């Protein structure tokens, strides 16, 4: 297994990066773009491993076997720094610190690599601090920025980066990866690949976690059941609730760890005295955690909406006789019911209603429960269809 094997469905990207690790077209700044779940940061990490690999520079760089490759992939290599954020933005102080470190020599004999996972979240000041480092590169320092699209990064920065563009992997590529990497049975792998619509992390969760599959099954069962106002209200409440649970599961552990880190930093012990500065620091932490929890919840709702939308897209595909497998092949009966009791025009309107709800929540801060209720009502099967 080389480090390139996990870049799912990205043949051209892999060729370019392998070439660079072999000494062709190397750059000190890279910008990895691609849709969510296409594996931008995985590609950057694989490339970093190839740059540190004992076989590099050369065609074998990124062997996946040597100590360097292993430690980069495990996130513990001294010369590879991964900048991940749970916050909404990456501030100038954090970037200045990185820039200072980038001016030092690497610990090992190769390069030092800084991977910024969410370069689209750099504040303007942070961008300017980073720009200086990229304009006047330190020898043996490589910057790898990751963002959904090139438009998410300031032109002054992207013009100095070599661009790596990932695409949404095909269902076949994702399924093959799940079988090879996780030993998932083929039928399950192909279900997870279809249902994820090319999002690798989501496909992996669907393949490996039964509760994720159950939650999705629940969501895609709504369209065939939205035949009364009561059913719409129930569906809205359910979706709001399960997505909240899922989000809380993700954040509660992190919240607790941050709180205990803060307590340790201020020397706070159970029932002990609290330093004066502790209280404002705790409030700031809790504010940040509430923002993150809300964002996570919205992420989960968003994913539910994408799943819901896929059912109406499938219904349109059935009605228009489009060839190929449905995203929701396993509930083809339900999809056919939706197609029979509606028209492609109506289902396009429903998709528009889903997108409108999404916009209300993400852009206009409409409460989730409220936005989902009016959306579910708009998705309701019309009177004539109910007969
Ligand atoms: Zn290696």
Ligand 1 centre to CA of 63 (Å) is: 4
Ligand 1 centre to CA of 60 (Å) is: 8
* Per-residue pLDDT tens over the stretch 161-215: 999 999 999 999 999 999 999 999 999 999 999 999 999 999 999 999 998 999 9
CA 276, 277, 280, 284 dihedral sign is: negative
Ligand 1 centre to CA of 111 (Å) is: 14
DSSP codes of every residue in 51-77: HH-TT-SSTT---S-SHHHHHHHHT--
Ligand 1 centre to CA of 189 (Å) is: 29
Other CB atoms within 10 Å distance of the CB of residue 270: 5
Largest CA distance in the chain: 75
Joined together, the tokens standing for residue 230 give 């009561």
C-alpha dihedral (231, 233, 238, 239), degrees to nearest 10: 110
pLDDT of residue 328: 97
Point out the residues of the chain with pLDDT beneath 50.
384-387
Ligand 1 centre to CA of 138 (Å) is: 24
Question: 11-165: what CATH class?
Answer: alpha beta
Would you give the DSSP letter of residue 26? -
pLDDT of residue 105: 87
- Closest CA relative to residue 312, chosen from 353, 359, 351: 351
Ligand 1 centre to CA of 2 (Å) is: 8
pLDDT of residue 381: 77
Distance from C-alpha of 75 to C-alpha of 65, rounded to nearest angstrom: 15
pLDDT of residue 268: 82
* Per-residue pLDDT tens over the stretch 312-358: 999 999 999 998 889 999 999 999 999 999 999 999 999 999 999 99
Distance from C-alpha of 322 to C-alpha of 235, rounded to nearest angstrom: 29
pLDDT of residue 385: 45
pLDDT of residue 271: 67
Ligand 1 centre to CA of 109 (Å) is: 14
What is the pTM for the complete model shown?
A: 0.83
C-alpha dihedral (327, 333, 338, 343), degrees to nearest 10: 80
Distance from C-alpha of 183 to C-alpha of 170, rounded to nearest angstrom: 19
């Amino acid at each position: 297994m080389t480090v390139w094997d996990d870049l799912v469905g990205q043949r051209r990207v892999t060729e370019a990066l392998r070439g660079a690790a072999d000494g062709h077209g190397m750059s000190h700044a890279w910008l990895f773009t691609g849709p969510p779940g296409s594996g931008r940061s995985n590609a950057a990490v694989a490339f970093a491993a190839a740059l540190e690999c004992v076989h590099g520079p050369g065609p074998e760089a990124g062997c996946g076997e040597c100590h360097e490759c292993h430690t980069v992939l495990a996130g513990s290599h001294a010369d590879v720094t991964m900048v991940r954020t749970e916050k909404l933005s990456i501030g100038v102080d954090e970037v200045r610190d990185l820039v200072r470190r980038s001016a030092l020599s690497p610990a090992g004999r190769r390069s030092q690599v800084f991977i910024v996972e969410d370069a689209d979240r750099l504040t303007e000041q942070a961008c300017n601090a980073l720009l200086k480092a990229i304009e006047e590169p330190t020898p043996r320092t490589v910057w790898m920025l990751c963002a959904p699209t090139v438009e998410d990064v300031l032109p002054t920065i992207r013009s100095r980066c070599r661009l790596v563009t990932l695409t949404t992997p095909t269902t076949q590529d994702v399924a093959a990866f799940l079988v090879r990497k996780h030993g998932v049975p083929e039928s399950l792998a192909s279900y997870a690949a279809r249902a994820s619509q090319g999002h690798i992390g989501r496909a992996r969760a669907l393949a490996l976690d039964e509760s994720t599959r159950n939650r999705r099954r629940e969501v895609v069962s709504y369209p065939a059941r939205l035949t009364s106002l009561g059913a719409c209200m129930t569906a809205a409440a359910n979706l709001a609730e399960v997505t909240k649970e899922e989000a809380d599961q993700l954040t509660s552990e992190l919240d607790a760890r941050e709180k205990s880190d803060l307590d340790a930093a201020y020397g706070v012990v159970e029932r002990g005295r609290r330093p004066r500065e502790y209280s404002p620091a705790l409030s700031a932490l809790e504010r940040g955690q509430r923002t993150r929890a809300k964002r996570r919840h919205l992420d989960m709702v968003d994913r539910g909406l994408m799943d819901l939308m896929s059912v109406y897209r499938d219904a349109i595909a059935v009605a228009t006789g489009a060839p190929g497998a449905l995203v929701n092949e396993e509930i083809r009966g339900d999809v056919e019911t939706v197609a029979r009791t509606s028209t492609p025009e109506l289902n396009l309107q429903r998709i528009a209603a889903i997108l409108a709800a999404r916009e209300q929540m993400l852009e206009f801060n409409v409460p989730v429960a409220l936005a989902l209720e009016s959306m579910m009502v708009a998705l309701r099967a019309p009177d004539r269809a109910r007969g």
